[in-house]
Every structure is written in C-alpha cells, then in structure tokens.
Amino acid sequence: MEIDEIWKKLKDGILIVAEEICGKEQLTKKQNWMNSEMWRKIEERRQCKIKKDEEKYKKLKHEIQKLCREAKDKYYEDKCKKIEMLDKVHSQVLYQKIKELRPKGSRMLQTLKSKQGKSLLEKDKVMERWAEYVEDLYKDDNRGEADMGDLVNEVYTISSEEINAVIKDLPKGKACGNDNISAELPQGMGEKSIEIMTSLINKIYRSGYIPLDFRKSIFVPIAKVSRAQECNNFRTSALTSHASKVLLHLI
C-alpha cells in the first residue's frame, strides 16, 4: 500500500542520515580498570582483523593482554590500599568499599504464573501469558458501539505547520518504539521531510489505514513488588512509535 511505502522511505531516510551524522553506538561491557588507551588498541586490532593483517593483529593482541593484566592488577592494588587505610581510621565507608570488590551474583531466574497459578519457566509460555494478560487488560467490549454522532463528509487537511508544532513538542530523552526512531530525530528534520510527514499523516487520516509500526508497541514489565510472579504485580510500560504520537495528537 502507498502509505506503507511512504512511511518506509521516510523511516529509512531518517535512520540512514542519523547513522551518518551521529554514528551508531555499540554497547560494550566495560570493566572499571579499562582505559582509553586500551579501547584505542582494541579498535586498531579490530581494523587489522578486517584488513587481514595477521602479523600486526597478533602483536596488538599481546599488547592488549599485557595492558589489561597491568591495569587490572593496579586497579585492585589501589582498591586494597584504600581499604587498608579506611580500616586503620575505622571509617564507615569500609564495608561499602569491600562490597564493591565482591563479584556480583547471577540474577535469579524470574518465573511467572499462569492464570491457573502454574509456574511458567519456558520463554514461549511466559510470552504467551503476557500476551494473554495485556489483551485482557486493554480489552474494550464497547469498541465499535460508541455514538459517532452525525458524520460530516467534509475532509479536513492537516497543515505542515500543525505537524511541525506537534513534532517540536514531543518530549525529549524518551525510549524509542518499534521503529527505533527517537523524538529528537523528527525534530531535526528539514522542510522536505516535514512535507513528506504531512502527506503521510493526511493519507492516514483520510484512508483510516495505519502503518504496522504505528500499531506496534513494546511492552516492558516493571515489578511493583520483590520477586513478583503474578502479571498484576507488574506495571506495564508501553513504548510506542513517536511518529504515531504525532498522529494521535492531531486526531
């Protein structure tokens, strides 16, 4: 459908430009004792692997291992000296510093109970239970029976100024929805992109057809109590597309 094509081109364009300008952050597990020099050499080693420069790759590998050993030893040596000093002065911070050195235990396996009270451990079963719970939670038995009043045939056209104003008012720093587009990305769009968004919103408004990304939400369960096992002991936070919020605000 034309609406899906317009949205796909707009979405892909936003994501490509965002990656070109802002880059794509790779989340890596960072140890406290690692420093910028190590990360620089790790990146250099990665480039050598891509270029298939085996000799330089092996050399960098040994250098990184040596740097890691030295930095790790120094980090824990400094920590231990700090603890010894705190012990001598009977500081209240002593136990906090000791706790920092303790290895973090593995997270306990979270179970969920079915409607019948049976514990669910398999991922598929847990997902099915959440789908069942969310469907019941948001079920509207009166949908389609509301009084729509007198229908008017006049078609209203949403202006680019209205859409631009709504986009500018989107709250910043919020999590993305299914489309991976944050609120800040549409806010940085130029005049041409705003025109495409305006055309898209008007086509959706007139046809009643809504793209799949606008209809999809990512539900994040947040426990309200410790060791929660019942679905109603969780708060469900829904992450929706910021572009769909523009549509919802206008209609």
Q: Are 60 and 45 contacting, i.e. CB atoms less than 8 angstroms apart?
A: yes
Same domain? 78 vs 129: no
- Say how many residues make up the chain: 251
pLDDT of residue 176: 87
Q: Could you tell me if residue 130 is inside a domain?
A: yes
Same domain? 77 vs 193: no
Average of per-residue pLDDT values in the chain: 83
Per-position DSSP letters for 167-192, written without gaps between them: HHTSPSSPPP-TT---THHHHT--HH
pLDDT band at 24 (very low <50, low <70, confident <90, very high): low
pLDDT of residue 165: 92
How many domains is the chain partitioned into structurally? 2
Q: What is the pLDDT of residues 188-241, one digit of tens each?
A: 888 899 999 999 999 998 888 888 889 888 888 888 888 888 888 888 888 889
Same domain? 133 vs 217: yes
Q: Are 250 and 166 contacting, i.e. CB atoms less than 8 angstroms apart?
A: yes
Same domain? 125 vs 172: yes
Same domain? 196 vs 234: yes
Q: What is the pLDDT of residues 67-121, one digit of tens each?
A: 999 998 998 888 888 888 888 887 878 778 777 777 665 454 567 888 888 888 8
Same domain? 217 vs 126: yes
Residue 65 has pLDDT above 50, yes or no: yes
Same domain? 177 vs 242: yes
Report d(CA 101, CA 81) in Å as an integer.
13
Same domain? 127 vs 226: yes
* Among candidate residues 81, 85, 79, the one with its CA nearest the CA of residue 97: 79
Mean pLDDT of 149-162: 71
Same domain? 246 vs 173: yes
Q: What is the pLDDT of residues 108-133, one digit of tens each?
A: 456 788 888 888 888 889 889 988 98
Q: Could you tell me if residue 143 is inside a domain?
A: no
Q: Could you tell me if residue 14 is inside a domain?
A: no
Same domain? 166 vs 203: yes
| Domain around 201 | 110-138+157-250
pLDDT of residue 151: 47
Residue 30 has pLDDT above 70, yes or no: no
Q: Could you tell me if residue 197 is inside a domain?
A: yes
